[in-house]
Structures are given as structure tokens and as C-alpha cells.
Structure 1
Amino acid sequence: MSSVSTNDIVVCKTDEIPSAFQMAASPEQNVRFQSRNEESIEIQTPLPCITAENVSTHLNPDQDDIHDKQDERLSKTRTLPSSQNTNTESRFNDDPKKQQNIPSFTTLQKQRQQQLENDSDEFESFIDSNQYRPIPKKKYRLSYRSFIGTMSEIEEIYAQDDFLCGNKLFQHIFIFIDSVFRGIGQVMFANNPLSGIIIMIGLLIENWKLALYGLLGTCVSTLTAHMLKFNYNSIRAGLYGFNGCLVGMGIGYFSFPNSPYMIGPIVIMSIFSTIVFMVIGKILVQRLQISSFTFSFQICTWIWLLGALKYRYFFVNGTILSPNMLTTRVDKPRFLNVSFSHYSIQDNVVGFFTSIGQVYFTENPYTGIIILFGLCICSRILSFFAFFGAVTGQLTAAYLLGLPATAIHAGLWGFNSVLTCQALGGMFFVLYGYKIWFITFFGSIMTVLVQAAVSAFLAPVGMPTLTFPFTLVCWIFCLIAGSKDLIAVKLSAISIPEDHYHR
């Protein structure tokens, strides 16, 4: 295709101009040609100007042929005799009125330039009107499904510039509060702020001072992650908050929570928990591809409780942290006199829900029920496996190991199994096939056995086991990931068990 420039393309009526062969004819034919030429001059009108804007409507599709014909005609006119050219010029000069009716080349060029300027002004005005036209805002229709799971639709609303009327300060505060409550829910793998709010309500009902310590630890650890510029997506998911929550509640529980001096240690150790979590993550996550779980909370709490034995102004609660309270059995019967302990239905049922509350250091079955409800908002599978772990752990401790009924009633031997079943049952493994059910059930039993061994090991120094049995068992089972029929979930793609199953 030939390109069309913005210069004038003038289509002239050249078929009336005689050829050189015709000029070589008889004088009579020349006279006829002159008369015909005069008639053509009288009826001549201004030549149409074809520009780049209207060239498509004036040119034929085959533009190359038109240009060739024009070149041939121009070459023919150039072969006219000089006498004929002078005769034609004289005729144009004789009649001034006719000369005025014929536009010159400069006049056509000025008209074309003015037309181009007018067209460009109209185009710019059209662009400006469309440029500043307000873009229609996307409307989000929220339903009850928007508040379950990880609340991904709510995250899109947070990302809008007009969220909270565009006030940046209010936006940052609101998003920070969202991250804090996600951190409270992440203690039990619930990445949902509503789950964290409901769990916090249950904790406030049981022990409001201990709940506020947990909230303080979560805020401090999350703020520390922001100050140190850690991964923003991890902060938003509450991954830098759950260890601080457990540190605040653990130090307050094993010390004297009524003392206002506990605020200082909670703030210090919550900051340290964020740093330790980052350091352990570089070793376990980047090299072994396994999560550090709550190991940061365990290290920070043990450091403080062990140091409190030497501190002057801080103490530990001797009624809770005593070697006698942490031993499995003080007196062991002889082999021939072995008898099974009697556990009432109330001990078992109350122990099921109390063990769920013991994850947050609360000994109240109603708090455990509220926690289950909060987990159900995020994931029904997580809520189911939390109860499944409480049942299997408590029954194993009672009827397999014969542990005291008071400990069964208090739920002290079920909270680690709760976390183990949640982690293995759909959180870090895809819930597919019967083998994952066997691994989850067997992991719950092994968690109780490890808890008894760690409790006996720490009894001489009077330290609690915390959640270390759950962490150790999950490390062992996560390292066998990749075997047949055990589909592990990548740490970068962890969401909720429902999402893992439908991928």
C-alpha cells in the first residue's frame, strides 16, 4: 500500500489536454482544441483539496494505479509546444475575472493549513473532555460469604483509594487493627479478623486482664514487624502477631497478672518474639521448607520465666510452676495392683472444650465453645479438627496413659493435640485420601506422649511444656512431605483447608 502524505493531492482534469500527436495534426484541429480549451476555462471551478483526513473517500482502492496515470498525464502536458503554453498563459492573463476565480497554490495551501489546525483543535478538545471524565467506581456487593474464609473481598475494599473517605491515617489504623485480630486468630491458624474478634470476646469473658495482655503482645509484635520493614503480606496475614499474643498471655499467666509491672516484660519479649520468628524462619522456611510454628513464643517465654527465678522485682507463680505439679505421677502402683482410674462423663466432656481454651491459657469450657465458633467462621474444617484433636488427646491421656482426672478435667493434656490435628488435617497437608486421616490421628497420640516426656524433662527446673510437643511432632511429620498420597501445601500458598482441597 502506498503511503499518503499530508501535502495536497490535487486531482486535475487532464483528459481534455491534447497530446503531442494531436498538436502535430492539421491547423483546423488546433483551432478546435483552442475553442474547447476556452470553454473548459470558463466552467473551471476551484480544484478540490484532498488531505489525509478525507483521502479515503476520494481515492480509489488501487492508489498506485492512480498515481501512475497522473504521472503519465503530467509527462504529456510537459511535451506541449512552447507556443501552445504561451497561448494558454495569455488566455489566462487576458481575462482578470476568470483569473480571480482560479485559486492559486498558496491559497490552497493556506486553506489546507487552516483546516488542519481546526481539526487538531477539535481533536484536542475531544481528548481533554474524555481525559477528565470521572471513571465509574466499582461497586462491591457484600454478602455473608464475604466475611468467611480469609475475607479476600474485604481486602479489595481496603485497597481502594476512597476507603474511609480517602483518609490515609484512618486507613492505616483500620488495616493495623485488622492485622492484629488476624494475629490473634492465627494462634489456631484462622486468618480472619472476625475469628480473632470472637476469640478475644471469649477470652475477655474468662479473664479480661489476661486477654488484654494477649492483645498488647499482638499489637507490639505486629508494630515491630512494620518498623523493621518485614514482608507486608505476612504482616497483613497476622503471621507476626500470634507469637506476641501467646507471649503476652503466657508471661501473664505464669507470673502475677494483677501486677502492673508485667506490662514492661510483655512489651520487651513481644518485640523479641518477632525478631526470633524472623531468624528461625530463615533457617526452617528457606532451607527445610517447614514452618516455625510457635517456637518463637516458646523460646521467649522460657527465657523470661527462667530469668524470673533470679530477678528481684519479678516473680513466677509457684502454685502453677512447681515440680510436683508438672510430674505425671507421684506415686506409681505395683504391677499387680494396677487399676484404671475412674473418669466421669463430665470430666471427659468438660475436658474436651477446656483443652481448646487452654491454647489461650484459659480454663473455661464456654470459652472453648466460643473459640470453636470463631474458627468456624474462617474454616469449618479447622473447627472440626480442633475438636477432633481435643477428643483424641484427652482420651489418650485418660484411658491409655491413666493421667490424673483433675488434669483431664482442666484440659491440660489436649491443647497440644488440638494444634497438631489442625496443622496436619488440612492446613499443611491436603485433606485427600485415608492416609492423611491416619497421620492426623497418629500425630495426636504422639503429641500426648511427647508432652509427657517433655513435662518430665522440664519438671526439675519447674518450666511448663507450653506448645513445644505440638511443634516437635509437626516438624517431624512435615519433613516426610512429598511421599506418595501425602500432598504437602507450599508455605507460600497456605490459605485454609477448603482452598487447599479444591485446588
Structure 2
Amino acid sequence: MPLSEGSEQSRAFDLLAGFVDPPSSPGRRRWLPTAGTLPQLGHAAGHPAAVPLTAALRSLGQVIFINNPVSGLLLLLALVWQAPAMGLLAAVGIATANITARWVGADRGARRNGIYGFNGALVGSAAAAFAALNGPLSLVAWMGWVAAGAALTTLLLEGLGGWLVGRLGVPPLTLPFCLITWLVLAVVMGLDHPALSLLAQGPAPAQVPWGLGLLEGVVRGFGQVFLCSSLPSGLIVLAAVAAASPLAALLGLAGGLVSSLTALALGMDTGALALGLGSYNGVLTAIAIGGTFYATTRDSLVIALLAAAGSSLISPALAQGLGSAQLPVLTLPFVLATMTTMVLVRRALPSLLPVALHSVLTPEEHRQRFIVARALLRDFRRQLHQSVAGEQKAVLLPRADAAERERLRHLFEDLDRDGSGSLSVAELATGLMRRQGGSLADGASRQRFLQLETILRRMDLDGDGQVDPEEFGELMLRLRRLHAGRAELLTYLQPVDADGNAELDPAELDRLLVSVGLPPLRDEESRQVFGSPGRGLSWGSFLDLLLLT
């Protein structure tokens, strides 16, 4: 089951949240105000057309794993730069796909995030790239085919896409676009109607020096994702990706370079290489594996580049097979390379945790989740080792600055009503009730009072039955740190729960630890965490464990 920040409240958080009132932490600095997913756009505009408009722009961005309406606007510019008709037909595809999604009752959040529109956008771009648009009648006829094809991509996304996620654990990616575009092109060739003719195959591209072909090809590869072959369009697409996610842009450049070198080694001529035909599948594959479906780490980066090379390795055979039916290869190498990699990683490297599909954001945000989880789990591992060895001691308090320690001292004195220099259960409970406006007269407050006894024992590092200022300060700093990264940690944890029971068992916890480079639990540590064999930890209990171990 998906987790969220409020899916299960930890006992320790419930009881102690009122004790800590940290100053609002500044948000992470963004290199541009356009970075990220900009969730506020569309809803804050207040105009009825704002939501469908931003959803349409997000649909364009989702083609290259960028859920960002500002980037979508730049991508629309890239399409129009290539050909005004391409921008028009892509818009028709997006609109029809999203309308169909609404008609079939598709998830509202997914529709607003462009999940149902990006395959339709590609159907429109492909039609503009392959069609001989000979006048208004031809344009209208192709608009009709694009609308029909885009609607079918939504139906495929609901049917085939659901099957792929449920059976193989992989997203459908651009497979609906490939299938429907091949269908449309095959039907058009069969009809042989003047208003629906296809462009004749042009002459082979001129040869260029391989170094220049490689450089141009990597940049043009970004444009070729949208079937744009011009260098300016490729540069605009690259800028659109970088505006939302610099890390995604770097991953795409690396993947495009590796796949281009692989294509060159396989004999691709430098003219085709310069057009980006050897790089666009690698661009998509590297972004998908290296930062979208897995957090960017050394392991995921290596696998992403190998997958990008793999997309070029399988391209010639696919092109030959599809060429016999006079059909283009489109993004099929990317689809097969990415899906195969995800299935193989799940079986061969289970410690490389995927991103939960409903939580896909930008590579930077996935990387941040990984960093937060790694820091919290490292502290937990260190504290658990000390606890088993009977050597519990403060870790965070010695690293706190003078102002922080002073603030904690005042908070402790405020709770230490009798001035004894240590806190008893009664003082802790009284302080909690006073701060949260509660009273020991009601049953719920009495229950919380009893629960505090357990928490107090865990705070008591030296086992003397009292909580001194150092022990109190250490707990408050742990609480603040864990609270700050709580949502990111829970999101990172989601794929670990393989059986979907919202609990961690010993094998799942070991997998979680190994995923951030830590050793699995030793037998005595596992007994301390889980108690009797066969027990699991609820998410709230695990948060308590991170806080109080």
C-alpha cells in the first residue's frame, strides 16, 4: 500500500511533537525558479482554463520525464521551430488523449500531471514528421487520424499499461505511442489516399567528421525524442530539460554520448549519427534508469549507461525487422532496454531500490530522498550497535552549535518544574499537557501519560531512571532531524515493502540497509529490533525505533 506522511502516526511523534518548535528551515536552493515540478502552477492561477493548460504542458514534458509546465512551454517552442504543423498536431494529440482519459474516468492526479497526454503528443509529432501535408484538406485529415490515435493511446495506457505495472512492475513508457503510430502508418499506406500521403524517403544524410557528428548527434538526440531533427530544436529541448532538472539533462547527455559511441562502433554512418538517430533512445534510457525510476547513485548510473548502450545494440535488428514493413523504429529500443533493465535489476540487484511509480518526480528529488534515508539509517545503525554493546551515548548533541544547545537548555528548564536538573515522568507529562492544552483528567491524556513511561526509559541513556539535559537534548535533536526527513524517508521506504503489508520484516530491513551501503543486521541486533522471530515492524514503530534507539 502507498505510504504518505500521514499514513500512520508514530507514537513518539504524537507525544513529543509539541515539545519541539524548530524554526522553519529554508527550502533547498534551486538553481532556477523553474526547477522541480512546480505543483503550484495551474491551481493557483484561478482561471478555469489554467488546470487543463498546465496539464497539456506537463504532457509534453512527460515525454522526456519532466513534469514541468514551463519546460512544456519550451518544448512546444521546439516543436513549432521544427514545423508549425508539428506543434499543432502534438496539441491535438494531447487534447484528445486527456479528454479520453477524463471520459474513461482515469485518475485525476495522473491526468493533471500529464501521464495520459504524452503518448498522444508523440503520435501528433510523428504524424507531422512522416506526413506529406499538401494543404488544408491534408492537414485536417491528419488531425483526424491523430485524434483517433491519441484516444487509443489512452485506452492502451489503461489496459496494457495496467497489465505491465501489475504483472512486470514496469511502466508502459512510450509503448502505446509506438503501437498506435505503427497502426496509423500501416492503415494510411493501405488506404493510399491523396490527402493522407506520406513523405517520400529523402537522400541519405551527408557524411561529416565523426567528432562533429558525435557532438551534434548528442544534442540533436534530445530533439529526436520528439522527432525533431533540427539542431535549434535539439538545443531548445535540452534547455527545457535543464530548466526543470539539471541532473536529468546531464544524465541525458551521458546516455546520448554512450549510445552514439555504441552506434558508431556498430557501423552507423556519421550523417545519421549527426542527426541524433544514434542517441535519442540512449537519452531517454539514461534519464529513465539513472534518475527517474531509481535514485541517482553510482550503481544506478553505471546501469543506466549500460542500458543506454543496450538501446543502441538492439536498434539495428529492430530497424531491420520493422523496415521490412516500411515502419520506423521510433522509441522501441528505449522501451525494451528500459523495461528489460528494470526487470533484471529487480531480480539480480534487489538492493537497488526503485522509486515508487506514483512518487516519480525529478532526479534531484529522488537523490535527496536517498541522501536523507542514508543519513538516518546510518545513525540508526550506529545507535543500534551501541545499544547492543551497552554503550549508548549522545551523537547529535556534541555536534550542535552554541545557540542550539542554549535553546535546548531553556526548553529543558521550562519542563523541569522542580529545578532538580532531571526530568521525571510526571514533569514530562505535565509539560506535554501544558504545551498541547490537555489535561490528565481525560482518558486520552492518561493513556499518553502511560506511554511516556516507555519513551522515558528509551531516553535514559545511562539507565539511572532520570532524563538529564544531555539525554533530553539528544532526543530533541533526533526528533527534529527525523521529523525534517520523515516524508522523504517514508517515500524511500515504500518499494522495500515487497508483500504490501505496511510492515518491515527482517529481510526487508536488511535490504533497506544494504540499499544505502550499510551491512545487514547481525543476529543479536535483529533480536533487539524485532524481538521474537517472525515479527514485523509497522511504519510508525520503525520511526520510533529510528528516534529512540
Q: If the length of structure 1 is used for normalisation, what is the TM-score?
A: 0.63
Could you tell me whether the CA contact under 8 Å between 2:223 and 2:230 is conserved in 1?
yes
Q: Is the 8 A contact 1:243 1:270 kept in 2?
A: yes
Alpha-carbon distance, 1:145 to partner: 6.2
**Change over 3 Å in CA distance of 1:202–1:252 after alignment to 2:** closer
Residue number in structure 1 paired with 2:420: none
Cα separation, 1, equivalents of 2:333 and 2:245: 24
What letter matches 1:449 in structure 2?
L
| 1:396 and 2:262 are equivalent in the alignment | yes
Q: Which of 336, 348, 352 in structure 2 is aligned with 1:472? A: 336
Residue in structure 1 matched with residue 186 of structure 2 by the alignment = 306
Q: Which residue of 1 aligns with 2:59?
A: 183
- Given that 1:146 and 1:154 are in contact with CA atoms closer than 8 Å, whether structure 2 keeps it comes out as no
Partner residue, 1:498: 364
Q: Does 1:461 align with 2:325?
A: yes
3-state SS in 2 of match to 1:298? helix
Task: Give a deviation string over 1:53-72, Cα, whole Å, max 9, x none.
Answer: xxxxxxxxxxxxxxxxxxxx
Give the 3-state SS of the residue equivalent to 2:63 in structure 1.
helix
Q: Does 1 or 2 have the higher relative contact order (CA < 8 Å, sep 6+)?
A: 2
Do 2:208 and 2:271's aligned partners in 1 also have CA atoms closer than 8 Å? no
Q: Does 1:152 align with 2:39?
A: yes
Change (3 A) 1:472 1:344: closer
What is the identity percentage for the equivalent residue pairs of Structure 1 and Structure 2? 25
1:154 and 1:396, CA in 2 relative to 1: closer, same or farther beyond 3 A? same
Q: Deviations over 1:458-503 (max 9, x none)?
A: 1211110010110001111111344254221111211111111111
**One-letter amino acid of the structure 2 residue matched with residue 320 of structure 1:** Q
Whether the aligned pair in 2 keeps the contact of 1:217 and 1:270 (CA below 8 Å) is yes
- In 2: Cα distance, 1:469 partner to 1:397 partner: 12
Per-residue CA deviation, residues 432-454 of structure 1 (Å, 9 max, x unaligned), is 23x22221111111100111110
Matching of residue 317 in structure 1 with residue 182 in structure 2: no
2:255 is paired with a residue whose SS is helix
- How far the C-alpha of 1:196 sits from its partner, in A, is 0.3
Aligned residue in 2 for 1:366: 232
Is 1:220–1:270's contact at 8 Å kept on the other side of the alignment? yes
Q: Does 1:425 align with 2:290?
A: yes
Contact 2:97 2:116 in 1 (8 A): yes
Aligned to 1:94: none
The question of whether the paired residues in 2 share the 8 Å contact of 1:146 and 1:152 is answered with no
Unaligned 5+ runs, structure 1: 1-142, 165-169, 327-340
Task: Quote the offset at 1:417 in angstroms.
Answer: 0.9
- TM-score, normalised to structure 2, is 0.58
Q: Residue in 2 aligned with 1:210?
A: 86
Instruction: Give the aligned partner of residue 171 of structure 2.
Output: 291
Task: Please list every run of 5 or more consecutive structure 2 residues that lacks an aligned counterpart in the other structure.
Answer: 1-29, 370-549
CA distances 1:53-97 after superposition (whole Å, capped 9, x unpaired): xxxxxxxxxxxxxxxxxxxxxxxxxxxxxxxxxxxxxxxxxxxxx
In 1, Cα distance between equivalents of 2:143 and 2:329: 23
Q: Please report how far the alpha carbon of residue 288 of structure 1 lies from its aligned counterpart in structure 2 after TM superposition.
A: 2.1
Q: CA deviation at 1:287?
A: 2.6
8 A contact 1:187–1:242 mirrored in 2:
yes
Give the equivalent residue in structure 1 for 2:95.
Answer: 219
Task: Specify the SS of the correspondent of 1:394.
Answer: helix
> 2:352 — aligned with what?
486
Q: What is the deviation of 1:144?
A: 8.4
- Counterpart in the other structure of 1:193: 69
In structure 2, the residue corresponding to 1:487 is in which secondary structure?
coil
- SS at the partner of 1:149? coil
1:320 Cα offset (Å):
3.2
**Conserved? CA contact 1:146–1:153, under 8 Å:** no
1:439 is aligned, of 303, 324, 327, to: 303
CA RMSD of aligned residues (A): 2.3
* Contact 2:142-2:196 at 8 Å conserved across structures: no
1:187 & 1:390 partners in 2: Cα distance?
Answer: 16
Output the CA distance in 1 between the equivalents of 2:352 and 2:319.
31
